[in-house]
Structure formats: structure tokens, C-alpha cells
Amino acid sequence: MNRSPSPLPAIELAVELGARSYPIAIGANLLDDAARFAGAIRGRHALIVANDVVAPLYLDRVAAAIRAGCEKVQVSTLILPDGEAHKTLASAARVFDALAAMKANRDATIIALGGGVIGDLAGFAAACWMRGIAFVQVPTTLLAMVDSSVGGKTAVDLAQGKNLVGAFHQPRAVIADTAALATLPLRELRAGFAEVVKYGALGDADFFAWLERHAEALLAREPEPLAATIAHCCRQKASIVARDETEQGERALLNLGHTFGHAIETAMGYDGLLHGEAVAVGMVLAARLSASHGRAPAADTQRLIALLERFGLPTAFPPGLDADLLLGLMQLDKKNLSDNLRLILWRGVGRAEIVPDVDLATIRTLLS
């Protein structure tokens, strides 16, 4: 099918990591950009990993673009079941089986076509196969475009907790086709805005105010503000990752709301709130905790809640969840350095801070 070129030129950014630097392209119909794929793919084998929701929508186009751009590359596909519940070691093993069936050695590239689940999982498999092969992120959800496809965090979940097994492994390119957002269910689009609001909340008051002015246009998927938003978030993430690739310091700020959020997702068996929804609730809990200690203005917490609610996101602790179960799960969080919790707390719109030693009793009171 002939797709008309986007009226907006693709936005080109980069993550600067020396020899491992890579481009991020954001624009409509990039899934058909054979030359861009040719520039990103290395080796003789390309395995496109997608799920059974995204594959019928976009897999053929990506495979055709890769075949057109890389004539000598053997292209195979793997379609996994949809959902966070499948971001597992068992799914990673299916990627390894597919690579083995192709007789792929290090001379291979994995293309992750989908949301954050496929991106994290396929990236993890790429980090492990023969101790690391190339991979390309082709994010198709808003959440993946603004956050998970950039920065090289890859992982799978265990029943005991989210993202407990993983690796830092940077992609060779991020190719974000904003036209793919047209088919994204509204609930998933809303979930992506939780991570968007996070960037404003943790480090950019002007962007937060811009989101307050443009929330309705963004929810209506207006191409220009949407592309500008994705680019803004990627720029912010790329600059943090360039300074702190492996989260020795400031990168942890990107986890605002995530310690609470991950525990909520795990407690609900990865089948309750979406990741973005859990992060929205988590950010509000972090803000309330900060406000109760006088570290953040209560009025800013109200602003945060109001903006999240305009994006249609939940802001209240889900009823029926046990505070002690959640606390136990939070103690498994990767950021912790002691029995107390290392949390990202809030100082108000545009400022977050790493607090190394929040005592459990304080959090228990908040959750109950």
C-alpha cells in the first residue's frame, strides 16, 4: 500500500554514549523506511519479535522494509502472546529457540516491534544471545516511544517481582512511527501519558505546564503536539542516560512512582493496572509521602493529581491491596541499599530527589 508521506519531517535525535551512540527517529510511516532499517541492522540474520496484537497490524510492513533495505539478510519472525504476563524467561527462551533455528550467530540483529513488553523482552534476549547481539527498538505504544525504547534497560519479570532479571544493553537505533499510535487503544494511550507527566514532574516545570495546556489535544492524538511531546521526552531521557547510563545516580529519578507502581503491578499478578496506570498511582503516593513531610507543596500534589486525571489515569491506591504485601514487594526493589527503602520522592512540580533511607513504618501509614 502507498502511504502518503507525513506532512511533518521526522525528528532526529541521538543518545550520546561514545562508540555506542545511536539515533532516535520520530515520525509518521517510518515503518516503511527501508534505508533507515538498512542503516540500523547489522549481520546476516534479522529476527523480528512482535506479539499477536501488533504482528497483524505492522509486522508485514517492517519485514518488507527490511527485505527491501537489506537484500542479503535472512529475515525471520517470532510472534509471542500479548501481555505483561508473558514478559518472562520462558518467552526469552522462545527467542533463543528462534535464533538457534535461524542458525544465527553474533552476526544477527533482533528487531523489537511493539510496546515496552516486547522491547524489554527482545532487548534482554539480544543482551544474552552469544553474550550480546545488536537490536533495534521499533516502539508502537506511546509509553515505549517516550520511555522504554530509549536507554537500554532490558528485562523480564519473575513472579517475585518486576524486571528482576535483566541487563543494560543499548539498541543500535530507535525507530518510532507515530502513525502506529492511531491503532493504540485509548486506555494504552492514557497509560503512556503517565510516563510523559513523569518527565515534567521530576525535572521540567515548563513542560508540565505545557502538558496542562495541551492535554486534550494530546489525547485527541493531534500529530504535531504528539510528536513534539515524544521528542521532548526522548531528549530528556537521552540526556540523563548519556550522563548516567547504568543508574549510579540521577537516572534513578526516572523511577519516580515506580517503586510503588511495580509493587502494585506485581501484587495484582501483572493483570490489574497497566504499567503506566500503576506509575500514575505511584507518583501520587510519592507526592503524598513528600507532602506529609513538608518536602513538597500540597498544592503541587493537587496539580499532579489534576493533570493525571485529565489524562484519564487512576490516582488512588487500588482498594483491597494489602499494605504489608506491597511493602514486602517494595523491599525487593533494585534501588534499595538497606532494609529501609530507597525512594524517589517529590519536591513539587519539576523537582524530584533520591531519598536513600525511608523507614517502613512511614510507608505503612501512607498505604493504610
User: What residues are paired with 114 via a beta bridge?
Assistant: 139
Which one, 43 or 318, has the nearer CB to ligand NAD?
318
Q: According to CB under 6 A, which one of 147, 188, 245, 300 is a site residue for ligand GLY?
A: 147
Q: How far is CA 215 from CA 136, 142, 189, in A?
A: 30, 14, 12
Residues 140-179 interacting with ligand NAD (rule: CB under 6 A): 140-141, 143-144, 147-148, 151, 153, 162-163
> What is the distance between the alpha carbons of residues 295 and 345, in angstroms, rounded to a whole number?
9
Q: Which stretch binds ligand GLY (CB under 6 A): 45-53, 82-90, 249-257, 346-354?
A: 249-257
Q: Using CB distances below 5 to 8 A depending on partner kind, what does residue 203 bind out of ligand NAD, ligand GLY, none?
A: none
Residue in the structure block whose three cell numbers are 491506591: 317
Is 247 an annotated catalytic residue? yes
Angle CA 148–264–200, to nearest 5: 45
Q: Which residues of 268-307 are buried (b: 16+ CB within 10 A; e: fewer)?
A: eebeebbbbbbbbbbbbbbbbbbbeeebbbeebbebbbeb
Look at residue 103 and give its three-state secondary structure: coil
Q: Which set of grid coordinates corresponds to residue 142?
A: 506511546
Q: Are the beta carbons of 145 and 27 closer than 8 angstroms?
A: no
Least distance (Å) from ligand GLY to the CB of residue 346?
Answer: 16
| Given 262, 288, 342, 351, the catalytic residue | 262
Torsional class of 60: left (φ above 0), alpha (ψ -120 to 50), beta (otherwise): alpha
Look at residue 141 and give its three-state secondary structure: coil
| Given 84, 245, 255, 288, the catalytic residue | 255
Told to check if 188 binds ligand NAD by CB under 6 A, we report yes
Q: According to CB under 6 A, which one of 30, 47, 51, 229 is a site residue for ligand NAD?
A: 51
User: What residues are paired with 355 via a beta bridge?
Assistant: 343
Q: Are the beta carbons of 137 and 144 closer than 8 angstroms?
A: yes
What's the DSSP call for residue 208?
A: H
Is 265 an annotated catalytic residue? no
Q: Using CB distances below 5 to 8 A depending on partner kind, what does residue 255 bind out of ligand GLY, ligand NAD, none?
A: ligand GLY
Is 275 an annotated catalytic residue? yes
Which one, 275 or 342, has the nearer CB to ligand NAD?
275
Site string for ligand NAD, 191-230 (x = CB under 6 A): x---------------------------------------
Which are the catalytic amino acids?
131, 153, 195, 237, 247, 251, 255, 258, 262, 275
Interface with ligand NAD (CB under 6 A): 51, 53-54, 57, 82, 84, 87, 114-118, 120, 140-141, 143-144, 147-148, 151, 153, 162-163, 180, 183-184, 188, 191, 275-276
Contact set with ligand GLY (CB under 6 A): 147, 151, 153, 251, 254-255
